[in-house]
Structure 1
Amino acid sequence: MELVDILTRENIILNLKGTSQADVIDEMVDKLAENKLTDDPEQFKKEIYQRENEISTAVGYGVAIPHAKSKTVSKPTIIMGRTLQGIQYGDQHTNLLFMIAAPENASNEHLALLSKLSQYLMSETFRAKLIVATAVDEVINALQNEEKLQGSTSTSVDTSDSGKYIVGITACMTGIAHTYLAAESLKEAAKKRGMKVKIQTNGANGPENRLTSADIQNADAIIVAHDVRVDTSVFQGKKHVDVPVKKAINQADQMIDQALSYNIREGNATHTTADTEPVEEEKSGINFYKHIMSGVSYMIPFVVVGGIFIAISFMFGIYAADPTSDQYNVFAEFFSQVGGEAAFALMVPILAGFIGYSIADKQGLAPAMIGGMVASIGGSGFLGGIVAGFVAGFAARFIGRSFAKVPKAFQGLVSVLVVPLLSTLIVGAFMFFILNTPMSLLNVFLENWLTGLTGINAALLGALLAGMMASDMGGPINKTASAFGLAMFAANIFEPSAALMVGGMVPPLGIALATTIFKNRFTLQEVEAGKASYVLGASFITEGAIPFAAADPLRIIPANIIGAAVGGALCMVLGISLKAPHGGIFVIPIASNHPLMYIGCIVLGSIVTCLLIGFLKKPLSEEDRNKGKSMSSII
């Protein structure tokens, strides 16, 4: 199988009509649907935007490679789009776009073909041929010629006579595009200097061109370019450059210069343990947000399961889980024990543990989890767990580095005994003697304050939390509100969770309602997308609102915030609680104390958002509606 089998003539658009990122994504997804390569184009578009929200797929050189793996895709496919005037895609001016669509169960052969395209795009000559092509056949011929050229010259290790040898690892989130672009960029930069080069690519197929111990031993420079965690233990403690994938794509020469400056062959490097944190991260400061989100992401399943199971337990009666009560039911006790005594008990230790793991890898996991358990026992709760994770993680990392120069025969003992023992002693003493008492008092104060909120104060808090959730839909403001809700959830205060879910459900539901009632304000494509937003909003998937907000932020985002704030304020005033912070309509009947009133708050907020959108957006002409040109793009 060749690339032309998945980038077929029918999948090439030489003259994209769109003038914005949102427009061209719509146009390319429409082509995917037109060729019957996806059975749910709106879901695939959502997955494309999820990938864009993680990191822009504009890779430089006037190229963007939006991509996603999806169960809605029938077979691996590439849609090519070209715009000669260019568009602003992310923060880059872009002329060539390649939308890669891969099914969830794509074979290794297919994924390898998709990755080949990323390598070919590093060739300036190949890109130029695509830009000047006047017909689809010229694109196909350029692709076939590049396959022949690359096939005749590619080798896993490039040899030359400079005497320098560079090795590295590249890995992006999906392992389809950026992984191979970064590898190719580093290879090309090294070749121009006459260097030997070998880059391991951790792609969707798993590691390819894997580095050996001999490669590491003989290397003069090491570069790791990644957006996901990679195992750096193979570097045997040698100092290396650690950067995001896009930096290796766009600044390969600078990365090579930096890596060569470490002089690792001469032994002048600052040796570190195998599980140390990347060098580059130290220079840019402590990435608190990354570490906290790592812990939260692992904690959330415990929160969801625990909350739902406890809610099910209460359905048998408030005291049905108590064997001494007249309401006792063995199934209620089962759900209460699994949810409350097991899942909830693990929330804070898991949070702390994976914050520690994010900082110090495996050496930080055990002491951070133990510190989290001490925080939970001592009343520090969620906030104490965060502190425990950071203290344990940095203690483990510092101790590990301090013992880096001990003989190799004792390194195993250091990893399994010395580092966890000493770092656990540090975090345990810190939590027990210093933090737990004041933090538990703070938690009691917050609990009393929140439980005592009534009237206007409760309304203001509900409006603030829900409005924050709706403001940037997955961004830092949204995450800050979510973190507060999780802290209160861990303290068994469930009203903020209800307000937060209102803030997440109202934007897509309000937009969906607006596309139904005020159809003349939207293009035909947007009206169709609005139908999917009903399902997304009901499922608490706020991202259903992102395409609309991106296309018309000055109207949609304020409407989202105001509608969410109204619903959240009413929710808090009515004392509605929610014992499951995720799940949308599927958990409301069993996890809310007043499910009908709660649904009413969501509906009211959605109506407010809908009416505001109808008022703020101007009607489109029939021609603009059919062309897919929204009013926001011509005002």
Structure 2
Amino acid sequence: MGIRNMTHPNLVLFDVEANNKEQVIQQLISNLYKEGYIDSEQTFLKAVLQREEVSPTGLEKGLAIPHGKSCAVNKAVFAVARLRTPLEEWPSIDPGNRVQLVFLIAIPESEAGTTHLKILSALSTNLMRDGYLEGLMATETPEQFLHLLDVDTTNEPKTEQEFTKTVIAVTACATGIAHTYMAAEALEKAGRELGVKVLVEKQGANGIEDQLSPEVIKKADAVIFATDIAPKQKERFAGKPFVQTRVAEPLRKGKEMIQKALNNPDGVVEGVESAELTTSSSGGGFFREAVQAVMTGISYMIPVIVAAGLMMGIAKLGAMPFGLVNELGDPKYATHSNELFVILHYLDMFGGLIFKFMYPIFAAFVAYSLADRAGLVSGFIGGAFAGGLHYTFWAVEGGIPSGFLGALILGLTAGYVSRFLNQKIQLSKNLQAMKPMLIIPAISVLVIFFLNFYIVDPVFGGLNIVLRNWIESAAGTGDVILAAIIASATAFDLGGPINKAAGAIAIGLAADHVYPLTARVLAIVISPIGIGLATVVDKYIVGRRVFDEDLRIAGNTSLLLGFIAISEGAIPFMLRNPLITIPINIIGAILGSATAVLLGAVQWLPLPAIWGWPMVENLWAYIVGLVVGVSFIALTNIFVRFSILKRKERQA
């Protein structure tokens, strides 16, 4: 498409002075308003800044592409700013990116799903080409700049190139925008340099683009899956040698990816319906495959957490002026004479209902990543067990859901069992339809039932009993020791069975006026606030981002939910890196709670959210403890993850 036709010379600004990205965006928006492309600066600015909160729009090589869709936009258009001084503090996919060229894309609400993504993909693709960005930066007038937008600046011959091999690829990132297209362009470019024909299917935010036909797939010599989430319709690639990698890898190792796919693949795509990716034992395939499955589950789970937290947060904030924050769950408000109280009650309940589906969604897509559609049903059922839905439907009182650990175990089991069945069960052609529709769901769901019934539920039930006895036996050992035990149990699984067991005991002790809830309420908020803060300040502490893009989105949510005492916002971090996150959470909660208790903070009421803090005796001590715990979790996460990144870079 003609990119230059989407802008105007008056919208191209050179030598722009700005101290931060907000100033750049504001200048470009003001220019759009002046030229009549938008009706309201504030309305469109709000849309752009909201988009900035979702994921970084800074890319690589000095480029940033902020964008927004709004009813204030009259026509799809983009404005450009070339900065006099590069900006270092612009969140980017490349941590070392110093932004100097900014494209601000404005999209009418009615075109959000079409023009928006086409412009983004076209810009992303062009900017991967050698000489393109350099040419734009060297122009002296807006007219020259616009002329070069649609000019092919590469020195590649225009004659038809002969290829001896064909490699096909699928690219997909968590948000499905820039990296999806940039990885595709990087692979195609590397293929031309190697004399290998590379055809790429983009599975982006606009669905599947440039879909590979059955004929192309059949003739291909190998396939590359450059994806951060599970690729769709893997069954099409059955029998092909493959390489599985992160979506960002082709940007710096495109040639290596192609050569590996042709000469030393990870394995062969197997199966008829589910087309599993079976890796060789020497490549660490099982661990990498399980990690990708978990990442896929997290990417689908995050919107559920956000939606649930948002509903509950709105309800609680609405109830604050009336002093009803901790009473909203009382059934009497379901039929209250004040209609506002009724709405707030059900909105709070609605958020809790959405949270119930957090684990089913997670486990379903973990299984989907491993077994495609064959694993969805048993994965969803496993997640329902982990969330305790069976206790609700079976009217079992006091049932202990297995939480995120159960979802992890049951989701992975569902995926591997479904895949095994799909590979091993062979039926005649006339009976093939029975396998995915009847046999695999029936057997895999039965396996999940028995695994949960005999192992998962009893194990976590047993842990709950052990924990209860441990905390009760520690009741006379001293304030600090008891605070440490309650805090560690509370922070362990963020709303899971161990957390709830600690809560039941702590509330009981407080009700009998034996021991206050100080450690309990602090431990609830320290973990989500600490991990959320880490995703915000990491670039200031170590000079780069140490969290992946999807976790940065989850971090913003975790930070917000932490202040309203919803610890589940930090669960994606535990699922992604449990061996890092869980110990840090526990130590941080212990340090913060013990500090507050030692300094004399006392909270007898079960009010961990920010509106309960004024009711704490010696609030200053409470705040000091909070700062100690949050700081430890934030800084330790940053330094540990930074160390891991540096080690991986040295090994690369």
Question: Shorter-chain TM-score: what band?
Answer: 0.5 to 0.7
Question: CA 1:384 to 1:504, structure 2 compared with 1: closer, same or farther past 3 Å?
Answer: closer
**What is the CA-CA distance between 1:103 and the residue it aligns to?**
4.5
Of 372, 375, 378 in structure 2, the residue corresponding to residue 367 of structure 1 is 378
User: Does structure 1 conserve the Cα–Cα contact (< 8 Å) formed by 2:4 and 2:150?
Assistant: yes
Where do 1:76-155 residues align within 5 Å? Answer: 76-81=77-82, 90-92=94-96, 94=98, 97-103=101-107, 105=109, 106-107=111-112, 108-146=114-152
User: Does structure 2 conserve the Cα–Cα contact (< 8 Å) formed by 1:162 and 1:194?
Assistant: yes
**What is the CA-CA distance between 1:367 and the residue it aligns to?**
2.0
Q: d(CA) in 2 for partners of 1:16 and 1:305?
A: 38
User: Does structure 1 conserve the Cα–Cα contact (< 8 Å) formed by 2:378 and 2:414?
Assistant: yes
Q: d(CA) in 2 for partners of 1:298 and 1:162?
A: 43
Q: d(CA) in 2 for partners of 1:282 and 1:207?
A: 27
User: Does structure 2 conserve the Cα–Cα contact (< 8 Å) formed by 1:119 and 1:181?
Assistant: yes
TM-score (normalised: structure 2)? 0.61
**What is the CA-CA distance between 1:443 and the residue it aligns to?**
2.0
Of 615, 618, 634 in structure 2, the residue corresponding to residue 597 of structure 1 is 615
User: Does structure 2 conserve the Cα–Cα contact (< 8 Å) formed by 1:43 and 1:72?
Assistant: no
Name the residue aligned to 2:464.
Answer: 443
Q: d(CA) in 1 for partners of 2:595 and 2:304?
A: 24
Where do 1:209-358 residues align within 5 Å? Answer: 209-233=210-234, 235-239=236-240, 240-261=242-263, 269=268, 271-276=270-275, 278=277, 282=286, 284=288, 286-287=290-291, 290=295, 293-294=298-299, 297=302, 300=305, 315=327, 349-358=360-369
Q: d(CA) in 1 for partners of 2:108 and 2:463?
A: 46
User: Does structure 2 conserve the Cα–Cα contact (< 8 Å) formed by 1:363 and 1:420?
Assistant: yes
Name the residue aligned to 1:391.
Answer: 413
Q: d(CA) in 1 for partners of 2:85 and 2:218?
A: 48
Q: d(CA) in 2 for partners of 1:27 and 1:337?
A: 38
- C-alpha deviations, 1:231-271, integer Å up to 9, x for none? 1335242333332222123222222222323799xxx9452
Q: d(CA) in 2 for partners of 1:29 and 1:77?
A: 12
Name the residue aligned to 1:422.
Answer: 443
| Amino acid paired to 2:416 | F
Where do 1:447-458 residues align within 5 Å? Answer: 455-456=479-480
User: Does structure 2 conserve the Cα–Cα contact (< 8 Å) formed by 1:299 and 1:348?
Assistant: no
Where do 1:34-49 residues align within 5 Å? Answer: 34-35=30-31, 39=42, 41=45, 44-45=48-49, 47-48=51-52
| Amino acid paired to 1:200 | E
**What is the CA-CA distance between 1:442 and the residue it aligns to?**
0.6
User: Does structure 2 conserve the Cα–Cα contact (< 8 Å) formed by 1:489 and 1:497?
Assistant: no
Q: d(CA) in 2 for partners of 1:435 and 1:504?
A: 26
Question: CA 1:457 to 1:201, structure 2 compared with 1: closer, same or farther past 3 Å?
Answer: same
Of 479, 485, 493 in structure 1, the residue corresponding to residue 495 of structure 2 is 485
Name the residue aligned to 1:4.
Answer: 4
**What is the CA-CA distance between 1:120 and the residue it aligns to?**
1.6
Q: d(CA) in 2 for partners of 1:129 and 1:343?
A: 50
SS at structure 1 position matched to 2:251? helix
Q: d(CA) in 1 for partners of 2:87 and 2:328?
A: 62
Q: d(CA) in 2 for partners of 1:84 and 1:234?
A: 49
Q: d(CA) in 2 for partners of 1:539 and 1:36?
A: 38
**What is the CA-CA distance between 1:440 and the residue it aligns to?**
0.3
**What is the CA-CA distance between 1:124 and the residue it aligns to?**
1.5
Question: CA 1:263 to 1:144, structure 2 compared with 1: closer, same or farther past 3 Å?
Answer: closer
Deviates more, 1:215-224 or 1:75-84: 75-84
| Amino acid paired to 1:597 | M
Q: d(CA) in 2 for partners of 1:597 and 1:191?
A: 67
- C-alpha deviations, 1:490-527, integer Å up to 9, x for none? 66948867754477679999xxxxxxxxxxxxxxxxxx
Q: d(CA) in 2 for partners of 1:253 and 1:388?
A: 38
Name the residue aligned to 1:166.
Answer: 167
Matched, 1:413 2:434: yes
Q: d(CA) in 2 for partners of 1:317 and 1:187?
A: 56
| Amino acid paired to 2:188 | K
- C-alpha deviations, 1:310-362, integer Å up to 9, x for none? 99998489685999xxxxxxx89x96997799767666555544443344333
Q: d(CA) in 2 for partners of 1:163 and 1:189?
A: 14
- C-alpha deviations, 1:186-211, integer Å up to 9, x for none? 22233344444432223443333222
**What is the CA-CA distance between 1:36 and the residue it aligns to?**
5.2
User: Does structure 1 conserve the Cα–Cα contact (< 8 Å) formed by 2:602 and 2:616?
Assistant: no
User: Does structure 2 conserve the Cα–Cα contact (< 8 Å) formed by 1:366 and 1:420?
Assistant: yes
| Amino acid paired to 1:112 | K
- Size of the aligned set, in residue pairs, is 519
Q: d(CA) in 2 for partners of 1:33 and 1:434?
A: 58
User: Does structure 2 conserve the Cα–Cα contact (< 8 Å) formed by 1:291 and 1:358?
Assistant: yes
Q: d(CA) in 1 for partners of 2:532 and 2:71?
A: 21
Q: d(CA) in 2 for partners of 1:602 and 1:101?
A: 47
TM-score (normalised: structure 1)? 0.63
User: Does structure 1 conserve the Cα–Cα contact (< 8 Å) formed by 2:107 and 2:116?
Assistant: no
User: Does structure 2 conserve the Cα–Cα contact (< 8 Å) formed by 1:241 and 1:278?
Assistant: no
Q: Which runs of 5+ in 2 are unaligned?
A: 34-40, 280-284, 336-341, 392-398, 505-516, 534-555, 566-587, 632-652
- C-alpha deviations, 1:39-84, integer Å up to 9, x for none? 26577446435413xxx8544xx34445454559845535443568
Q: Which runs of 5+ in 1 are unaligned?
A: 324-330, 467-480, 510-532, 543-560, 589-593, 614-635
| Amino acid paired to 2:494 | F
Name the residue aligned to 1:524.
Answer: none
**What is the CA-CA distance between 1:126 and the residue it aligns to?**
2.0
